[in-house]
Amino acid sequence: MSSHEVWAGGPPADDRPDDRRGVGDGDGTAPGTDEDEGARGVAHADHDPGHAGAGTDDRGDDGGDDYDDDDYDDGDDDGDDELARAAAAVEADLDVAAVIAERDDYLDALRRVQADFANFKKQTIRRNTDLVQRAAESLVSKLLPVLDACDGAMSHEESHEQVRPVYEALMDALEKEGLEVVFPDQELFDPHLHDAVVHEGDHGDGQGGEPVVTAVLRTGYLWKGRVLRPAMVKVKG
């Protein structure tokens, strides 16, 4: 093979000029090699976007340099929460104190109302009882003339047996309700129970000068311990 034919195919690689071989950083690497590889990498990423994205995410995850904004706000949020809880506790204490004071006021008012009602109840019962007793007393007072008529009829022998059963039945019913008979024959005179209409002088009978009932002119009566009508009597002494 002639030298012409050899040069026609181009000089051997080792015999090429330095500008074709390139001068690198001293390591024999042709200039532009890194740029070509970067371009090829970019082109490859363009053709495979999923792969490029995955690589980007991996770098983000592996680097550990990305922080969430919420991480910086946790401290402030905790402080705000503590303040809010403290304020709520203070407000709750104030509310409890107010509720306790209001409760005490209501209890005092309730006790006063209860005491007033108890007194009103006692007064009402006493008043009603007194009204019932007075009504019964008024009825018995109206029956006293009937009893006096029975006493007068029994003083006669001819009508004694006929009137006595009626008188005893009436007196039995009235005595069960609280009627008492006042018949102080030969007893000491009591101005609260007796009405002296006739007075006789002392004849020295040894009674010590104290007045004594010598005769009962009209029977007296008590109703539930109170004087309904004093006995009309004749007194000596």
CB atoms within 10 A of CB 179: 22
- Give me the tens of pLDDT residue by residue for the chain, a chain 237 residues long: 444 444 444 455 444 444 444 444 444 444 444 444 444 444 444 444 444 444 444 444 444 445 455 554 555 566 678 777 777 777 766 777 888 888 889 999 999 999 999 999 999 999 998 888 888 889 999 999 999 999 889 888 888 888 999 999 999 999 999 999 999 988 999 999 999 998 887 655 555 578 899 999 999 999 988 999 999 999 987
Residues present in the chain in total: 237
- Per the DSSP assignment, residues forming a β-bridge with 221 are 181, 229
Whole-angstrom distance, CA of residue 23 vs CA of residue 20: 9
What pLDDT is stored for residue 100 in this prediction?
84
Whole-angstrom distance, CA of residue 64 vs CA of residue 168: 121
What pLDDT is stored for residue 13 in this prediction?
47
What pLDDT is stored for residue 75 in this prediction?
52
DSSP state of 202: -
Pairing of strands 194-200, 231-236: parallel
Choose among 235, 143, 144, 224: nearest CA to 195. 235
